[in-house]
């Protein structure tokens, strides 16, 4: 199947020109929650570089789900700007997806102006805040917010949406026993913990229609002893398929506990601390960053074996993500039955990564996994710090 990379593939009712999708990589380009020219330029350049679809990352479904001031949140007022972005992406020959989520207990109180929501009461050391347990009324409200965000996205010209149910975001917090200590029908057994994300997928599917692509990012493991396991994830994947997901993206990690499990490689503590606005946060991260944020060794295709278990459990497309750095890696994933692959840092290091792979100019990325691009997200916008031919801060 080595020739499959640059042939068409299908997710739901969407036909894509090849099997490469730009993963949702938080851009840090949505100052005051707005669609900026930098964000549009960023994704226009990705689209021009040859991927089949690019994913706008971390759009909160409501204002109270934001962890950063430079994080997008969905509402009617930005619809025209979103349409301008999808038009720009389409003009470059790619499809557009948007990642919809809610930060839950690691929402920043200083950003949203009130106490964060969560599956259960929980203290977050990164935002220095304590969330309250969501009521049934809150659950119904957030379900409506996800539906509203999905409908607005579709109307703004997005070809697909990606519901974020991994990485320790709100839906992942309901799934994980580390954050879900509830005693009602949304807590306890895995079946109960799945109830809220399943409810959202079902409601979104009903709102957007049967053919519209609804991708779901999920964890194959939380990455800690008291989180969900791969065995749990297989059952979650089956439930998400039944609820109406068009495709699954099995990742790993928990943003507020093991955030670099999903990336691996170098931990840029100095750069991350320098980019914090508050003195206390800068000093704290510099002194204790390596204790607070575990470092994980990088290796190509680091999520492959777990993702295969999920691929074998469902009939819908499963999109491979995690350490794809070469044509050989893409071929390995497609040969194993994954119908698409998502790439992130490779397209930040070189926005023409896909075109160059297709033409044979290169066979692998030059990204060295220094992860300084992650720190750059908090300093005006993501770009390749090691290689200035990557994205510039102003798009």
Instruction: Just list the catalytic residues.
Output: 169
Nearest residue to 25 via CA among 394, 265, 275, 384? 384
Sorted by sequence, the CB contacts under 8 Å of residue 64 that are 6+ apart come out as 102, 107, 112, 114, 116, 117
Give helix 136-155 / helix 79-91 axis angle, nearest 10°: 50
What span, in angstroms and rounded, lies between the C-alpha atoms of 226 and 91?
Answer: 46
Contact call for residues 72 and 28 (beta carbons, < 8 A): no
* CB-neighbour burial class of residue 387 (10 A; exposed 0-12, middle 13-18, buried 19+): middle
Sorted by sequence, the CB contacts under 8 Å of residue 58 that are 6+ apart come out as 24, 26, 71, 72, 99, 101, 164
What span, in angstroms and rounded, lies between the C-alpha atoms of 193 and 297?
Answer: 31
């Amino acid at each position: 199947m080595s020739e499959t990379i640059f042939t068409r593939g299908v997710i739901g009712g969407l036909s894509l020109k090849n099997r490469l999708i730009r993963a949702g990589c938080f851009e840090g380009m949505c100052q005051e929650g707005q669609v900026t020219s930098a964000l549009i330029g960023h994704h226009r350049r990705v689209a021009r570089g040859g991927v089949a679809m690019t994913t706008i990352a971390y759009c909160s479904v409501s204002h109270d789900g934001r962890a950063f001031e430079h994080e997008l949140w969905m509402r009617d007022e930005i619809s025209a700007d979103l349409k301008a972005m999808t038009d720009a992406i389409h003009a470059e020959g790619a499809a557009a997806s948007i990642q919809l989520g809610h930060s839950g207990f690691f929402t920043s109180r200083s950003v949203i102006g009130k106490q964060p929501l969560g599956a259960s009461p929980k203290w977050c050391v990164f935002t220095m805040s304590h969330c309250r347990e969501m009521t049934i009324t809150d659950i119904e409200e957030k379900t409506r917010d996800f539906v509203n965000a999905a409908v607005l996205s579709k109307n703004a010209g997005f070809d697909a949406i990606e519901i974020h149910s991994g990485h320790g975001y709100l839906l992942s917090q309901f799934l994980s026993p580390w954050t879900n200590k509830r005693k009602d029908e949304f807590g306890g057994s895995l079946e109960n913990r799945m109830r809220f994300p399943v409810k959202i997928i079902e409601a979104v599917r009903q709102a957007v229609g049967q053919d519209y692509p609804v991708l779901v990012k999920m964890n194959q493991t939380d990455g800690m002893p008291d989180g969900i396991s791969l065995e749990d994830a297989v059952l979650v994947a089956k439930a998400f398929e039944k609820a109406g997901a068009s495709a699954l993206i099995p990742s790993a990690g928990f943003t507020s506990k093991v955030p670099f499990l999903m990336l691996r490689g170098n931990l840029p503590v100095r750069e991350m601390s320098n980019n914090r606005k508050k003195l206390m946060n800068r000093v704290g991260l510099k002194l204790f960053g390596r204790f607070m944020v575990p470092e994980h060794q990088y290796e190509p295709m680091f999520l492959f074996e777990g993702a295969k278990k999920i691929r074998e459990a469902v009939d819908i497309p499963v999109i491979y993500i995690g350490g794809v750095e070469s044509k050989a890696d893409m071929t390995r994933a497609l040969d194993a039955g994954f119908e698409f692959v998502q790439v992130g840092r490779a397209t930040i290091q070189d926005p023409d990564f896909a075109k160059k792979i297709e033409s044979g100019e290169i066979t692998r990325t030059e990204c060295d996994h220094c992860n300084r691009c992650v720190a750059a997200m908090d300093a005006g916008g993501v770009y390749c710090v090691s290689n200035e031919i990557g994205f510039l801060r102003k798009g």
